[in-house]
Amino acid sequence: MLSAKSLFQEILDNDESFRLFCSIAATGESQGGWENARIAALVPQSARELAPKITRHGADEDKHGRIFHALMNRRGLAPAEVPADTDYTMLLERHGIGLAHDKLKSEQRLTVEDIVTYLAHSRVTEQRASEQMELLRRHFGDHPGIGRAVRMISQDEDRHLAYCHEELLRLASAGHGRAIRRTLHECALAEIRVYRDVSLAVMAHMGRILGWSRAKAATLAAAIHAVYAYERAAGWRRMVSLKMPEHRDALGGPATPALELA
């Protein structure tokens, strides 16, 4: 019987599929680290108090990238080339979601509207990351090989999501509520399409590595399309709601080191 746990266990048990999984994850996390570092450097003067938190966010993403590389190193695996159709971060940018890299590569200060875009994009994508890591933590949090890494990354993603909620609510109270609602809606609808496409691509690559039958590949593809249908109909709403988190100032202070995972 197919389940999320059995599927990931199969990927985990094979060196080549595990190598691809970690490479895809490391690339996305490292890209997120670079983006946050650039945003922190370019925040407008009126939002300078956000810079340390954005820096912390980026440092966490960089740390996650190093963790995935460390997991590969433990098994004597070199990073794999990441297929373009599995690059979630870049595909989101191509759909116009988040801040364009051309803007981040310039030295021009961002605007408050840009910060709204950044936080709305992060709120949507961190929802996805938090849910995915919670799933892995539930099934593999005690795994001797990856459990510690899964728990650490999951905790960080929960903090990132809390930070996005708190800062967006603060901006909403400052008069940016309409822009936040509009941007969240646009980001959520685009993200669920990109997530569907990336999920189909990742499963296709994994299927070739693991030699899945046509029936198994078709079943997994149908499940991905079913998730998309649900998210397109109603599931996207969980990505756009805002509530004050129990954990306030979630990104205050320095990033948690990952020395024990190196």
pLDDT in tens, 12-43: 999 999 999 999 999 999 999 999 999 999 99
pLDDT tens per residue across span 84-117: 999 999 999 999 899 999 999 999 999 999 999 9
* % of the chain surpassing 70 pLDDT: 96
DSSP 75-129: TT-PPPPPPGGG-HHHHHHHTT-S--HHHHHS-SPP-HHHHHHHHHHHHHHHHHH
Q: What angle do CA 165, 127, 166 make, to 5 degrees?
A: 5
Q: Where does the chain have alpha helices with state H?
A: 4-13, 15-42, 51-74, 88-94, 101-105, 112-140, 147-171, 177-210, 214-233
Instruction: Grade residue 262 by pLDDT with cuts at 50, 70 and 90.
Output: very low
Please state the pTM of the whole predicted model: 0.94
150-159 as b/e, with b when 16 or more CB fall inside 10 Å? bbbbbebbbb
| Amino acid at the residue 205 | H
105, HSE (Cβ side, Cα atoms, 13 Å):
3
pLDDT at 257: 64
Q: Calculate mean pLDDT across residues 128-157.
A: 96
* % of the chain surpassing 90 pLDDT: 92
Report the CATH number of the 4-253 domain. 1.20.1260
Residue 182, pLDDT > 80, answer yes
pLDDT tens per residue across span 39-80: 999 999 999 999 999 999 999 999 999 999 999 999 999 999
